[in-house]
Chains A and B, each alone.
Chain A
């Protein structure tokens, strides 16, 4: 995608949140790729997952080592073809990558929000993204796309703004978390909350951060993002130094991998943001207001939908995507569902798996044909 520069917009209007809290004003950081056409009909919103950001594709500087998190799918000639679409990616409220979040200065106190940052939900994100769309002159998205927690936002968009979403693409998502999903999130949160360096979320004031807690949370997360098979294939029981040393240093390759993932997370990710994002996941449940009946919750939807799941994803298994598909066809909506064979587990949604790329591309071809009519 080449070099990209994030943009920033300030929203002075208060945002009333699902939690009952209010953000008096806030900023959103976002990136765009491609050009908005004269009718403003070719805009595609990409929603990010737990640890993602607005940096979906391209590089921020010449010596940037890694491109954005969906570089495989976004760019000229790619599935989300920036020669045809105007792709927008917004950093969610509560994040630590530029939009207003726990590390931002609370105007009421003059110091970082920390634990005072209100809980944000998927619905709140959609609301804030809708305001961003207004400011960008986008009345209706050609598509709202997301994987994992991003897929939940795409679904919420289709529910909350039926007239503003032509297509929703929901990848490796679920209509709500299971007890097991919430349990993993709770262990991650406990690791952070019980770290002595957490200081009740005011670690900024102590010039420290709960590194141990965040590391453990990230390691746990990574175990759930991969499948048993891919772990066996990538690491097996391979030893780092060739032999067992009977100590607590890294012996197995898989330990080395987890520690590396943990180390590269700390210093880049905010512990309060991690807590908020996992809570947003836990609370997501569109059927919560309809006695658990997802089809009733999806009754307002008008978008055509593509739902994708990956065979080895056990965090949000294909059966969870099928719940979304059922609720959509119960409403006689246009929906297609494909199950992609992949060994990578939940992480597959980030990978350039050929069939995945091909399906996204052909679906986006249909989206683009719809723009012409």
Chain B
């Protein structure tokens, strides 16, 4: 049994047992399989990639082949306890719309994304004058699927603007480790950011 990725463990800790989960951009279904096994969670993954869809079916993970940019209109309001968007926010056409959609179909949202404010990205852009390439962002600028990169601060500003209340957050490095320094300087040292949030209650 391979060790469970830290980001999966964090998401698993955030999710209540027996939750209904919608995983947007579920990849090969490993997160949903982990949540099913560790938390008794059930639900669906949405995925566009042929090979990933096949892999989900092979694993027995419920997967619906679809384009996230087409929206979540086929899902009714409050159909899920959690809607997860793992390392996909930066690759969708309308991140703000998708966040709204997540909190329409789910009670809580969980988003993870590569932090563009990480010092290595800042160094490559600021000092070297080049678009950053790293373990968390492995693509060159001309072939990257990541079209909406943001920093922790950017994401938090968007949440504020959208009336989204952040309930919890974490940062990890690209090896999905969690260190003290990361907690002190998350927007500089965190490579992957994880947020749990919900629609802010009206005052």
Chain A positions near chain B (C-beta within 8 angstroms): 306, 322, 325-326, 329-330, 332, 334-339, 341, 355, 358-359, 362-363, 365-366, 369
Contacts and interface: CB of A to CB of B under 8 A. Distances in A.
B54 A358 contact: yes
Contacts of B65: 337-339
A250 B165 CA distance: 70
B53 interface: yes
B62 interface: yes
Given A336-B56, A338-B57, A365-B58, 13 more contacts: A325-B74, A330-B76, A334-B42, A334-B62, A335-B64, A336-B62, A336-B64, A337-B65, A355-B50, A355-B54, A359-B57, A363-B57, A369-B60
Contacts of B56: 336
Interface residues of B, number: 20
* The 6 residue pairs across chains A and B that have the minimum distance between CB atoms: A362-B58, A337-B64, A326-B74, A339-B65, A366-B60, A338-B65
B89 interface: no
B57 A306 contact: yes
A68 B60 CA distance: 30
B75 interface: yes
Given A330-B76, A338-B57, A362-B57, A325 B64 contact: yes
Contacts of B24: none
Interface string B45-76: 00000100110111011111110000000111
Contact of B20 (A306, A332, A359): A332
Grouping DSSP codes into helix (H, G, I), strand (E, B) and loop, the B interface class, with mixed when no group exceeds half, is: mixed
A363 B58 CA distance: 6
A358 B75 CA distance: 28
A355 B60 CA distance: 17
Given A322-B74, A326-B74, A335 B54 contact: no
A341 B48 CA distance: 12
A306 B56 CA distance: 12
Contacts of B60: 366, 369
A363 B54 CA distance: 9
A336 B66 CA distance: 11
Contacts of A335: 44, 62, 64
B24 to A, nearest CB: 14
Select the residue from A322, A338, A358, A359 with max chain B CB neighbours within 10 A. A338
A159 B165 CA distance: 42
A336 B57 contact: yes
Given A336-B62, A336-B64, A366-B60, A329 B75 contact: yes
Contacts of A355: 50, 54
Contact of B44 (A306, A329, A365): A329
A337 B63 contact: yes
